[in-house]
Structure 1
Amino acid sequence: MSKFKKISSLVLAALIVFSTAGCSTNHEEEQKEFDAFIEKEFVEAMESDYTTMHVYLEQPEKYGVDKTKVEVNLGTRVDEESQKEALENAKKSWDAFEKFKRSHLTDEQQKIYDTYAYQEEIDKALNDEKFDYYQQLFGSMTGIHYQLPTLFSDWTLRDEQDVKDLILLVKDVKPYMDSIIQYTRTQVEKGLLMTDTEDVKEYCDNIIKAGENSSILTSMNTSIDALKLDDQKTSQYKKELKDAFTSSFLPAYKEISELMKDVKKANNNEGYAKFENGKEYYALLLKASIGSDKSVEDVKKMMSSDFDEQLDNMRKLMMKNSKVLEAVMGDLPTTSFKSYKEILDYIRPKLADDFPEVKDLDYEIEPINEEIASSSGVAAYFNIPPLDGTTPKQLRVNPKTGDVNTINNYYTVAHEGFPGHMFQYAYMYESSLPNWCKTMASSSAYTEGWAVYSQYYAFKYLKDIDQDVLEMIKLNELASYSAVIVADIGIHYEGWDFKQFSDYFNSMGLTADEDGMKKQYAQLQANPAAFEPYYVGYKEFSTIKEKTQEKLGDKFKDKDFHEALLKSGSAPFSVVQSNVDEYIKNAK
C-alpha cells in the first residue's frame, strides 16, 4: 500500500487517516477472503476425487475434508455429460477468483494469485469447444492404460476400509475405461485420433498375458498382507480383489487392445498440425508444459540456440581435456556405489552446504513392479507423499536398468531423490504455502526442470570422477534433448512428416538407423510436449542462475539461491523470478 505524506492540517490528517484506515480494512477483508477461497479450492479438489484425496491425505477430516462427499471411484467419466458438469464447476471457481483484485492482495498472495491465474488461463483455453476431442488419452508414455498399473501397484493401504475401497476401485476400471474407449471411438469418427496404436496394444497385451498371475495383483495382495488382518478377512478380501481384477481390470485391457487394432487405419500417424485447430491446440499444450508465456517460436529459437551453445561448449572441453572424448563415444565412467540407498546416503549429508534446511528426509527404496519394470523402461520414480504422511518418502527403482554403479543410475537417483523431487517435495510440504499450492498448483516445467537441474548439480559431489567428463556427459545430453524438442515442435506445429524429421536429425549430426528414427518419431508423435517440462524447465533454471550470478558476483550463494527457487512451490517461472528478484535485492 502507498504511504501518505504528512499534512499539517489536523482536519485533513484526520480525513486521510480515516480514508486509509477504511481502505486497509477493505483490503484486509479481501485478503482474508482470498485465503479462504484458496483453502476452499483445496478442500473441494479433495472432495471431488477419491484417488486425489487418498494420495494427498491420510486423515482428510483434519483438513476439513468431508469423506462422505467423496465417491470411491477412479474419477470423472470421459463422457459429454460428466465433462460438462466438471466444466461448470470449474467456471464457478474461475468466476469467484476473478472477483479478487490482485493489487489488493499481499505480496505473497499475489504470487499465489499469479499461479492460479496462469493455470486458469490455460484451462479455459483448452476447454474451448473447438478443441473437443483433441485430447489424446492413450499416449504411449503417459496414457491412462499406462497409469493404472502403476497406480494400483503402488496403492497405499492404511486400514481395513482402504482395502474395501481398493476393491471398489478395481471394479471401476472397466466402467471408467468404457467411457474412455467410447471417447476414442468418437475421436476416430471425427478424424482426431493420434496415438501409437502398436505400442499401446503391445503394452496391454503384456498385461493380458500375465492374467491372474499379474505382479500388479500380487503387489496389491502384498499390501493387504502388510495390514495383518485376521486370516479369514485377509483371505476374503484377496478373493474379492481377484474377482474384481479378472472381471473388470483384465477385460478393460482386452478392450483397449481390440480398440487399438480396430482404429489403426483411422489413426493420424503425424502430428497435431494435421488437424484443423491442431497448431493452436499444441501451442496451448506447450504453454502448459513450459511454465511461461513464451511462444512456440520462442521455444524453438531457445532450444536451437541452446543446441549450438552446447556443441560449442563441447568443442571447448575437447580442446581443454582429451579425456572427455570417452564420454562422447559412450565409454562412460562408473561410480563405486553398490546400492541405490548408498547413493542417497552419500548425497544427503552434502545438501546442508548447498540447499536450505529440510527436517524430514526419511525415505525408503522399493523396486518398481515387475511388469511395469519390464515394459516401461522407466529407471526410477518418486511417489508423491501425503501432506500429513508419517511414513518415509518412497523412491521406486527399476533393477532391470543395469548395474547400480552406472552414471545414469547416479543422476537418476539424484533426479528422483536428493536434491531432486524427494527434496523438493519435502521442502514444499514443510513450507508455509497454502495446501492448494502444495497439491493442486501444477507447473511440470518447475518440478521436472528442478529435478534435471538437480541431477546435474549432483555431479559436483562425485569427487573421484573427472568433472570435465561429467560436464561433457551433461552437455551431450542437453544438446540431444534440445534437438528433440525442436523436432517435437516440427512434428506438431510445423507438420513434419517422417522424412522431414529424419532429415533434420541427420543435418544436426544426430544419426541413427531407420528403425531407431521411426521409434523416436512415433514417441514424439504420440506424446506431444512430453520432453519440454524437463529441458525447457532446466533451461529456465540455468538461465535464471546465470543472470543472478552476474548481478551478485561474490555475493551469490548457492544455498540462498536454491531457497529462492524452492519457496514458490510448483509455480510458473514469473513467480519463481519474483522470488529470485527478492533474493537479489536482499543480497546486494
Structure 2
Amino acid sequence: MRSSFSSYRRGLYRLLLTTTVLILVLSGCKAFSKTSPDDKSFETFTNRLFQQEVSSSTISLHYTLQNPSDYGLLDYPITYGSFSTDPAMSHAALENCSAALHEFKDSALSKENRLTYDVLDSYLETASSGARFLLYEEPLSPVTGLHAQLPVLLSEYQFHSAEDVDIYLQLLEKTGDYFGSLILFEQTKSDSGLFMPDYQVDSVTEQCRSFIDMGDNNYLYTTFQERLNTVDGITDKQKETFTSKNASCIQSVIFPAYENLIQELTKLKGTGKNEKGLCNLPDGKAYYEYVVKHSTGISESIPTLQKMTKKQMAEDLKAMQNILYTSGSTADSQAASILETTEPTSMLNDLKSKITEAFPSIPSVNVNVKYVPEAMQEYLSPAFYMIPAIDNSTDNVIYINEGQTVKGLNLYTTLAHEGYPGHLYQTVYFASKEADPVRNILDFGGYVEGWATYAEMMSYYMAPLSKNDATLLQKNSSVILGLYALADMGIHYDNWSVTDTIKFFKDYGITDINAIQRVYELIVGDPGNYLKYYLGYVKFFQLKKEIAAELGSDFKQKEFHKAVLDVGPAPFDVLENYVKEELLEKQ
C-alpha cells in the first residue's frame, strides 16, 4: 500500500488532538462562548482554536507555519505535546468546544465560513463519539507509527534561521520525556487489556533497533548538516557548536529514548489479550465503526460499505473480462520498458503537463525527490509526500522508497498519487484558496488519500498505454485495493481469522500464505488504513458518475474537479452537499 506523509503528519495531529491539546482547546473555546454569530466573531473563534491547537506541538507548528508571527503566535512552548490517558477529559474538551461552535448560527455566516462551520462541526461530532475509546488508539502501528514517522519528521524539519536551529535542538532534548509519556500510555493500555499482540511488539522493537543500529550513519546526523548549510548568517563557530550539540542529543537523548522504548515494550510483551480484529475487544465493533468513520469521513454502516466495495469490484472485474474477451489485451510491454528508463522528475513533469485539460491550474512550485535511507526501507511506505507549511507551499518534497517501489509504470502511478494530480497538486491548490487556517489541522484521510488514489487511477490513462491496456491495469489495481478493504472490514468487523483471510484471498487467486499472514498482521495493527484509500477513491468516482448522469452533455471533468478541490478536505456528506450545490443547483 502506497502512502504519504500527508497521512503521517495528519496522523500526528490526530494523536495530539485526542490527547492533551484538547485541554488547551477548552480554554480557547470558552473565551468565545457568548460572542455574536457574525463572520468576524466566527473567524476570531476559529483563529483562536487554530492557535491553541497548532502551538501545542513544536513539530506541528513548524510544519504548519513558516512564519508563526503572521498568525498571531509570538510566544509558544517548545514541546512535542504528550499522551493523555483520560478519556473523560478529552470528551469534556470536545463537548465544550462543540457547544462553543454551536453558539454561532451557520445560516448567518458567509458561504466560506459556513463550509468551515460544517466541516468543523462534523469533525468534532465524530471525535466526541470516539473519545471514550482513547486507550484503544495505537500510536505504534506497524507502518504509520510514531516510532517510524518521528525520525523522518525531524530529518525534514527545515531551518530558516539560527533561532530555528536552536528550537530544534531544544526539542531534541525533550524526546526522552515524550517517549516516557508514550510508554505510560502503552502501560495504561496494557493494564486495561488493550495492549498490542506480541508479533506487533516484535515488529515495533525491530524497527526501533534498526534505527539505533544506523549509529554514526544515522540520517539525523547527515540531514542536520545539510539543513544547517542552507541557513544564511551563521558563522563557522556557530555551525560547529550546533553540530556538536546535535550529535550529543542524538547519542545521549534520541538513541536512549528508543532503547528505553524497546525495553519497556519488551516488558509488556505477553500482556496483549487479542491477536485478531478489533471486534474481539470489549465494544470492539463500536470502536471499529468509529475508526472507519473518522478515518474515511464516510458515515455509512460497515455492511453498507462492504456492499459498496463488492459492487465496485464486480464492475471492475466485468470490465476486465470484457477487454480480455474482446481483445485479448494484457499490457503494453513497450510502454513499460519506456517508463522503466524514466527518472522520477521526468515522470512528474510528464504528469504535470498531461493534467491541464482535466484539472484546474495551480501556482508553480518546486518539487524535490528524495530517497528513504536503506536501513528504513523495510519499515516505511513505498512513497510519501511531505506537506509544506500553509504559508509557503512553494517547496515540496516527495520521498521514494527504492526498497519497495518497483520501476516503470508502478513508479509512474505512484508519483501521480504523491505528486500530480495527487497529494502535491491537491495540497498546493487548497493552499492557494487561503481557507480558514483551522481547516489545515483537521484529519480527513478519506478525502486526502481517496483523492490521491483517484488521481493514481486516472494516471493509467495518461501513461503511454492503449485505452484497453490502461483500463485493464487500472481496474486490476482497483480490485486489489478492494480486496484489502474487504479484508480490513472482514478482520475487524466480522472476526476473520488468519485461515479465513487466506481462504478469502485464495478465492481471488492469491495463494502466498506468508504474504497473506503479513497483510493480516498489518491490518490488525493499523485498522481502517486501507479504507481511506479505497473507499475514498470509490466515493469520488461515484460522485463523479452521479453528477455526470445529472448533467449529461453539460458535464465537464475540469469543473467537477474544481468543485471538489474548492471544498477541500472534508467528510463526504459535507463534500457532496457543496459540490452538488455548485454544479447541480445552478443549472
Same fold (TM over 0.5): yes
Assess, with a 3 A threshold, how the Cα gap between structure 1 residues 513 and 364 changes in structure 2: closer, same or farther. closer
The CA deviation at 1:429 is: 0.7
The CA deviation at 1:44 is: 2.1
Kept in 2: contact 1:445–1:533 (CA 8 A): yes
Aligned to 1:220: 224
Paired residue type of 2:112:
E
Aligned to 2:520: 521
Assess, with a 3 A threshold, how the Cα gap between structure 1 residues 217 and 127 changes in structure 2: closer, same or farther. same
Aligned to 2:30: none
The CA deviation at 1:184 is: 0.9
With the length of structure 1 as denominator, give the TM-score of the two structures.
0.88
Aligned to 1:236: 241
Q: Distance in 2 between matches of 1:387 and 1:166?
A: 20
The CA deviation at 1:162 is: 1.1
Assess, with a 3 A threshold, how the Cα gap between structure 1 residues 62 and 326 changes in structure 2: closer, same or farther. closer
Assess, with a 3 A threshold, how the Cα gap between structure 1 residues 523 and 510 changes in structure 2: closer, same or farther. farther
Residues 461-500 of structure 1 mapped to structure 2, 5 A cutoff: 461-462=462-463, 464-500=464-500
How big is each residue's C-alpha offset from its partner over 1:50-69, in whole Å with a ceiling of 9 and x where there is no partner? Answer: 22211111111111123x1x
Kept in 1: contact 2:563–2:579 (CA 8 A): yes
Q: Does 1:250 align with 2:255?
A: yes
**Secondary structure, counterpart of 1:396 in structure 2:** strand
Aligned to 2:304: 298
Aligned to 2:141: 139
Aligned to 1:12: none
Assess, with a 3 A threshold, how the Cα gap between structure 1 residues 291 and 80 changes in structure 2: closer, same or farther. closer
Paired residue type of 1:231:
D
Q: Distance in 1 between matches of 2:298 and 2:405?
A: 37
Aligned to 1:324: 330
Q: Does 1:509 align with 2:511?
A: no
The CA deviation at 1:156 is: 0.8
How big is each residue's C-alpha offset from its partner over 1:552-585, in whole Å with a ceiling of 9 and x where there is no partner? Answer: 1211111111101100111111222123213433
**Secondary structure, counterpart of 1:393 in structure 2:** strand
Aligned to 1:335: 339
Q: Does 1:120 align with 2:135?
A: no
**Secondary structure, counterpart of 2:385 in structure 1:** strand
How big is each residue's C-alpha offset from its partner over 1:510-545, in whole Å with a ceiling of 9 and x where there is no partner? Answer: 422221121111011111001111110000000011
Instruction: Specify which of 172, 194, 197 is matched with residue 196 of structure 2.
Output: 194
Q: Distance in 1 between matches of 2:84 and 2:577?
A: 40
Q: Distance in 1 between matches of 2:496 and 2:442?
A: 34
Q: Does 1:353 align with 2:352?
A: no
Aligned residues: 549
**Secondary structure, counterpart of 1:335 in structure 2:** helix
How big is each residue's C-alpha offset from its partner over 1:60-112, in whole Å with a ceiling of 9 and x where there is no partner? Answer: 1111123x1x211211x21447x776665544422211212333334333322
Q: Distance in 2 between matches of 1:511 and 1:284?
A: 30
**Secondary structure, counterpart of 1:354 in structure 2:** coil
More off after superposition, 542-551 vs 98-107: 98-107
Assess, with a 3 A threshold, how the Cα gap between structure 1 residues 390 and 357 changes in structure 2: closer, same or farther. closer
Aligned to 2:427: 425
Aligned to 1:264: 269
More off after superposition, 167-176 vs 187-196: 187-196
The CA deviation at 1:116 is: 0.7
Q: Distance in 2 between matches of 1:489 and 1:456?
A: 23
Assess, with a 3 A threshold, how the Cα gap between structure 1 residues 587 and 457 changes in structure 2: closer, same or farther. farther
Q: Distance in 2 between matches of 1:29 and 1:178?
A: 43
Aligned to 1:450: 451
The CA deviation at 1:499 is: 1.5
**Secondary structure, counterpart of 2:370 in structure 1:** strand
5+ long unaligned stretches in structure 1:
1-25
Aligned to 2:27: none
5+ long unaligned stretches in structure 2:
1-33
The CA deviation at 1:494 is: 1.9
Aligned to 1:4: none
The CA deviation at 1:502 is: 1.7
Aligned to 2:113: 109
Aligned to 2:23: none
Q: Distance in 2 between matches of 1:249 and 1:363?
A: 30
Q: Distance in 1 between matches of 2:437 and 2:352?
A: 27
Q: Distance in 1 between matches of 2:462 and 2:454?
A: 14
More off after superposition, 486-495 vs 41-50: 41-50
Q: Distance in 2 between matches of 1:503 and 1:114?
A: 43
Q: Distance in 2 between matches of 1:351 and 1:273?
A: 43
Kept in 2: contact 1:219–1:369 (CA 8 A): no
The CA deviation at 1:223 is: 1.3
Assess, with a 3 A threshold, how the Cα gap between structure 1 residues 325 and 227 changes in structure 2: closer, same or farther. closer
Aligned to 1:98: 102
**Secondary structure, counterpart of 2:368 in structure 1:** strand
Instruction: Specify which of 27, 37, 52 is matched with residue 44 of structure 1.
Output: 52
More off after superposition, 533-542 vs 118-127: 118-127
